[in-house]
Amino acid sequence: MQLRSQLLNRLADGQFHSGEALGSALGVSRMAVWKHLKALRELGLDFEVVRGKGYRLPASCDLLDQETILAALGPQARAGLGPLHVMLEVDSTNSWLREQTLNGARSGTVCLAELQHAGRGRHGRHWVSPFAGNLCLSLLWRTSQGAAALGGLSLVAGIAVLRCLQSAGIHGAGLKWPNDVLVDGAKLAGILIDVAGEASGPCAAIIGIGINISLPESAGAAIDQPWTQLSALAGTTDLSRNRLAAMLIDNLFEVFAEFDSQGLQPFLEEWCKHDVVAGCPVSLQLPHTRVLGTARGIDASGALLVETTGGREERFLSGEVSLRVTT
Ligand code: BTN
């Protein structure tokens, strides 16, 4: 285990630890302890330093822990889970897992990170992921269905996030096609799917999910769209990120297993029930053109239906379109 992870493990009990005690437990100098803690502070870790007592993490600091997540998983996820990687920092959990996928990682491999230096959103956007501010999770799912089925998979991933939030007591969340999770028009969670494989035949999907938990003001200021976070929503004050991670993994395994055997059909009604865009005026940005119209839900394959201003109903696939609700 890397020294920084070992340090955090020692501090995770919320008690004071002197630099000397930490150093001797980890076989490094007091100065080295301070250097690493300072680097972690620059990444956004909040901790107290008291002369004569040492260092202490705030009681509210809720770091991700592999064993706690594993212990909270339900039977279906336990049976299907590959390795569960919990990292302190990474460029992007999706990029990291994509590399592992190309090196033969097994279906069901999951990785989480406290901090992403280059978190990625859809359409080349940056996903703001300060230390412990989000839940950043990626799951590798190998499917015998070709890449053509992945539009549906992306919608189903949205349902998994929604169900996870519902289990956590958040009932006002909705879905914006293809898979943004919104509360009162503000984005709470986003999903990015990377694909490795063929258009037909077996392929691997890397499903990356970011849920805003509690972002420092400076990080929030860098988000270029209306957003919200779990800490701002009623009823979530004592929600542990480890518990949330386990609930998300449980829901992902449940919906993907059903999607693999039955496709999108069993999810259509639930998806449409939470569709927050249906009936709204929308603007769709395609690679070379913009389409205006009114959203009319989705079809059986998960394509977005839009009644264009010309009065025709057209369908759009998620890979090619960026959707905005207009007023
Ligand atoms: C979006 O709404 O634009 C998608 C955001 C997806 C963010 C998650 S965070 C975990 C995973 N790793 C990434 O780099 N991106 C996804």
CATH number at residue 214: 3.30.930.10
Say yes or no: CB of residue 120 within 6 Å of ligand 1: yes
In a domain, 70, yes or no: yes
Residue 271's pLDDT is: 97
What are the pLDDT digits (tens) for 208-218? 999 999 888 88
In a domain, 61, yes or no: no
CB-ligand 1 contact for 116 (6 Å cutoff): yes
For residues 205 and 220, membership in a common domain is answered with yes
Residue 139 lies in a domain: yes
Average pLDDT over residues 218-241: 85
Percent of the chain whose predicted confidence (pLDDT) is above 90: 68
* pLDDT tier for residue 236 given thresholds of 50, 70 and 90: low
Average pLDDT over residues 280-290: 91
Q: How close is the Cα of 53 to the center of ligand 1, in Å?
A: 39
Atom 9 of ligand 1: nearest residue by CA position: 210
Q: Which of 272, 295, 310 is the last residue of a domain?
A: 272
Does residue 96 line the site of ligand 1, with CB under 6 A?
A: no
Q: What CATH number corresponds to the domain at position 35? A: 1.10.10.10
Residues 198 and 143 in one domain: yes
Q: Tell me the CATH number at 312.
A: 2.30.30.100
Q: Tell how far the Cα of 52 is from the centroid of ligand 1, in angstroms.
A: 42
Residue after which a domain boundary falls, among 12, 29, 56: 56
Q: Annotate the chain with three-state secondary structure.
A: CCHHHHHHHHHCCCCCECHHHHHHHHCCCHHHHHHHHHHHHHCCCCCEEECCCEEECCCCCCCCCHHHHHHHCCHHHHHHCCCEEEEEEECCHHHHHHHHHHCCCCCCCEEEEEEECCCECHHHCECCCCCCCEEEEEEEEEECCCHHHHHHHHHHHHHHHHHHHHHCCCCCEEEECCCEEEECCEEEEEEEEEEEECCCCCEEEEEEEEEECCCCHHHHHCCCCCECCHHHCCCCCCCCHHHHHHHHHHHHHHHHHHHHHHCCHHHHHHHHHCECCCCCEEEEECCCCEEEEEEEEECCCCCEEEEECCCCEEEECHHHCEEEECC
Active-site residue (options: 98, 120, 187, 296): 187
Co-location of 130 and 72 in the same domain: yes
pLDDT at res. 198: 66
Distance 127 CA to ligand 1 centre (A): 6
Residues 32 and 72 in one domain: no
- Cα 315 to averaged position of ligand 1 atoms, centre (Å): 25
**206 and 306 together in one domain:** no
* Residue 272 clears pLDDT 90, i.e. is over it: yes
Q: Are residues 29 and 13 in the same domain?
A: yes
pLDDT digits (tens, 9 = 90+) for 94-145: 999 999 999 999 999 999 999 999 999 998 899 999 888 999 999 999 987 7
The answer to whether residue 142 is catalytic is no
Q: Ligand 1 within 6 A of 180 CB?
A: yes
Residues 200 and 258 in one domain: yes
pLDDT digits (tens, 9 = 90+) for 42-94: 887 888 899 999 999 876 678 899 999 999 999 999 999 999 999 988 999 99
Q: Check pLDDT > 90 for residue 227.
A: yes
Instruction: Decide if 290 is inside a domain.
Output: yes
- Asked whether residue 283 is domain-assigned, the answer is yes
Whether residue 238 lies inside any domain: the answer is yes
- Domain range holding 224? 66-272
Of 248, 272, 296, the residue that ends a domain is: 272
Report how many domains make up the chain. 3
> Does residue 215 belong to any structural domain of this protein?
yes
Q: In this structure, which residue's CA is closest to atom 2 in ligand 1?
A: 190
- 234 pLDDT above the threshold of 90: no
Chain segment 165-201, per-residue pLDDT in tens? 999 999 899 999 998 999 999 999 999 999 887 666 7
pLDDT at 163 over 90: yes
CB distance 213 to ligand 1 below 6 Å: no
pLDDT of residue 1: 56
Judge if 264 and 207 occupy the same domain: yes
**Is 288 within a domain?**
yes
> Is residue 227 lining ligand 1, measured as CB closer than 6 Å?
no
The answer on 145 and 43 residing in a single domain is: no
pLDDT of residue 22: 95
Give yes or no for residue 163 CB within 6 A of ligand 1.
no
* 242/307 same-domain check: no
Tell how far the Cα of 212 is from the centroid of ligand 1, in angstroms: 11
- What digits encode the pLDDT tens for the residues 301-317? 999 999 998 889 999 98
pLDDT confidence band for 14 (50 / 70 / 90): confident
Q: Are residue 18 and residue 90 in the same domain, yes or no?
A: no
> How much is the pTM?
0.91
Same domain, 94 and 239: yes
The rounded mean pLDDT for the chain is: 91
